[in-house]
Amino acid sequence: MKKAYVKSYGCQMNAYDAARMADVLGREGYAATDSVEEADLVLLNTCHIREKAAEKVYSELGRLRVLKGERKEQGLDTRIVVAGCVAQAEGAEILARAPAVDVVVGPQSYHRLPELLARSREKRVVDTEFPVEDKFDHLPARRNKGVSAFLTVQEGCDKFCAFCVVPYTRGAEVSRTVAAVLAEAEKLAASGVREITLIGQNVNAYHGAGPDGGAATLPDLMRAVAAIPGIARIRYTTSHPNDMGEDLIRAHAEIPALMPYLHLPVQSGSDRVLAAMNRKHTADDYRRLIARVRAARPDIALSSDFIVGFPGETDADFEDTLRLVSEIGFESAFSFKYSPRPGTPAAERTDAVPEDVMSARLAALQGLLDRQRYAYQDAAVGQVVDVLVEKTGRRPGQVAGKTPHMLAVQFDAPASAIGGVVPVRIVEAGTNSLFGQALNEAAAA
Ligand code: SAH
Ligand code: SF4
Ligand code: F3S
């Protein structure tokens, strides 16, 4: 049997696409492999959000060229596919820079992979169209193995933050219909999935057609997914503050399966920077929003994204970000140095923040965010939490899972506990994980 090695970079949307492309390749007779050396097909599902990510892809393609040459000497064929957002943004440039690549395919056309692979035998191909047909209608059924699964419900973004490539690489906002999402969710549940994370670049802008033909909201969709037998937990990501409607806030109080966790990127605590970023909200808008969310669900765990060193960011602007973080308190967060992305308005700016200043700001911000995360983990010690068991743990005899607040927990239990929700007393906080004891050994078994 032929083997395919699939590697994904970037966001959850990309991870989802990678899984679906693996399914397409499976239908074409490729078995999945973790070893790139033995792969008859290598697929890199790329991300364009940061400079280094794209450069890493090019250096990886350089290594793959060598591997392809070595395999050829042994009489073995190797197909190389570049997918994802770098594929979308760079298109034919990839063929020019990376001679080993056979196929370049964008995030909206990967259902055509079989045809593209066949055509590339004659001539290397690029397909970065946004086709009229819906790729989801042309994908094989998911072969999901896990307890927790991502499900794409919305794609694209119309927000055009000044720094961001996503509106260009993923195109305009589109929502899948409720029926399409439910059909996929039901299959996932039937295959043993207990937790579904509804994903989209702008998931809370979801407005897919509902059963009555009118637009459904994300809370409507959540209620429908929560009603599927077997589904114990629902999450969603990523949201934009301006699409955080009252109904979604209320959903956090009303839908028991909706977990008390919200990833809500704010990017900066400075109104001047937020305006320059074209975020269309202020720091106080964000504070008020969080206050409303906390009023609906007091124990909600918050997560966010931050960019430091946006062009023109001053020390005072950065202090505003630190102040916002100190006031709100995040369980976890991603923080990045600003990176100019070709084609975005911010890339035209000439008032770049010096690299050393950016590094110092990033270190200060991450130090603060780390302290908040450790405080959050430490506060869990002694508590009893419901853990959805996802997999075996690091050590034999251990399993690993997540709390409702997304903290990772390891504890002793047989593998048969996987898929169950087990009450666990947290006894210790490690760096990236909590350690606990199942409250009821019998329940865990
Ligand atoms: N749709 C989501 C995710 C966008 S990409 C959202 O609106 O939040 C994920 C994160 O990458 C962004 O939130 C932002 O913090 C970061 N990011 C995007 N473009 C960037 C850039 N040019 N430089 C640095 N970080 C960037
Ligand atoms: Fe990018 Fe902004 Fe859209 Fe998020 S909301 S994907 S940061 S343009
Ligand atoms: Fe990256 Fe594209 Fe996601 S640029 S973050 S893979 S939408």
Residues 6 and 99 in one domain: yes
Residues of the domain holding 345 = 291-379
With a pLDDT cut of 70, the percent of the chain lying above it is: 99
Contacts of 251 (CB under 8 A, 6+ apart): 218, 219, 222, 223, 258
What are 37-76's pLDDT values in tens digits? 999 999 999 999 987 777 889 999 999 999 999 999 999 9
- Cβ(166) to ligand 1 under 6 A? yes
Among 71-85, 141-155, 237-251, the range scoring the smallest mean pLDDT is: 141-155
Query: How many domains, the chain?
Result: 4
Average confidence (pLDDT) over 227-240: 98
- Cβ(266) to ligand 1 under 6 A? no
- Cβ(332) to ligand 1 under 6 A? no
Q: How far is the CA of 201 from the centre of ligand 3 (A)?
A: 8
Residues 161 and 214 in one domain: yes
The pTM (predicted TM-score) of the whole model is 0.94
- Domain-terminating residue out of 336, 353, 379: 379
CA 354, CA 309: separation in Å to the nearest integer? 8
Among 29-33, 138-142, 385-389, the range scoring the smallest mean pLDDT is: 138-142
The answer to whether residue 90 is domain-embedded is: yes
- Domain-terminating residue out of 92, 127, 162: 127
Q: How far is the CA of 158 from the centre of ligand 3 (A)?
A: 15
Residues 348 and 365 in one domain: yes
The answer to whether residue 23 is domain-embedded is: yes
The answer to whether residue 136 is domain-embedded is: no
Residues 336 and 403 in one domain: no
Q: How far is the CA of 278 from the centre of ligand 1 (A)?
A: 13
What are 264-285's pLDDT values in tens digits? 999 999 999 999 999 999 999 9
**Residue to probe by mutation, ligand 3, list 90, 168, 169, most atoms within 8 Å of CB:** 169
Q: How far is the CA of 332 from the centre of ligand 1 (A)?
A: 16
Atom of ligand 2 nearest to the CA of 157: 3
Residues 92 and 187 in one domain: no
For position 190, which CATH number holds?
3.30.750.210
Nearest protein CA to atom 19 of ligand 1, as residue = 164
Residues 76 and 170 in one domain: no
Question: What b/e sequence results for 68-85 when a residue is b if at least 16 CB atoms lie within 10 Å of its CB, and e otherwise?
Answer: beebeeeeeebbbbbbbb
Q: How confident is the model at residue 441 (pLDDT cuts 50, 70, 90)?
A: low
pLDDT score at 37: 95
Nearest protein CA to atom 1 of ligand 3, as residue = 47
Q: How far is the CA of 204 from the centre of ligand 2 (A)?
A: 12
Residues 6 and 122 in one domain: yes
For position 419, which CATH number holds?
2.40.50.140
